[in-house]
Amino acid sequence: MSNAVTQSQMFGIVLTIAAYFVGLFLQKKTGWKLCNPLLIAVAIVVCVLLVFRIPLEDYEMGGDIIAMLIVPATAVLAIGVHSNLKILRRYAVPVLVGCVVGGVTSVFCVLGCCKLLALDTMLTASLFPKSVTTAIAIDLAETNGGVGSLAALGVFITGVVGAMLAPTFSKWFRIEDPVAQGIAIGACSHALGTTRALELGELQGAMSGLALSVCGVITVILSFFVI
């Protein structure tokens, strides 16, 4: 492939967007849970880079621009929360308790597994913010001596698994209340899970967006004491 094409910022942007739309198309056509658009997009981008032997640095020229949109995209989730303030006030205590329990459980499960597997501090610092959104996880991992790319990978895997399995777990555990569904999804699988929660309903999406924000704050606070 021509260097003039791959070394342009538009290459990474166009490739990323095109790969994601392919993922959306396959998801709609098949209806399979494994056909997560983001998962498919990552696979397509990796295959293109490997097959055409394109350096990662060339892709990142445009890919980093898309990555910059993670923060504002996360902030936009606050709109759904604002639209459901009345419901939030009604369930303020259960929502807060659920977020605290979810955030604390996530962090200590990771720390327990890292200790069990005798992982070093660098890997532990990279993996412990797996259940917060990427914008928070990368900075948090790097601040504590971890690797941002590993943190992003952990967040990605957690989010994709949560987005695919959230409806199934809701059925298994008979969680029918939309507020409970949203809080559980947001606390476990952050922004990627929130996109799935939005498909379940506006209220689920709003509560999931709130949960990922609160759990992000809780994880940051815990990092001062456990890392």
How much is the pLDDT for 37? 86
Whole-number pLDDT of residue 2: 57
Among 159, 162, 131, 130, which Cα is nearest to 146's? 130
CA angle, 6 then 12 then 17, to 5°: 135
Rg of the Cα atoms in the chain: 18
What's the pLDDT at 1?
55
pLDDT along the chain (227 residues), means of 10: 72 90 89 80 91 87 78 72 78 88 90 92 91 86 90 89 84 88 88 82 86 87 84
Q: What is the pLDDT of residue 95?
A: 86
- Structural tokens at position 42: 């990552």
> What are all long-range contacts of 108-116, with beta carbons under 8 Å and residues at least 24 apart?
108/226, 111/226
DSSP-based three-state secondary structure for 85: helix
pTM of the model: 0.79
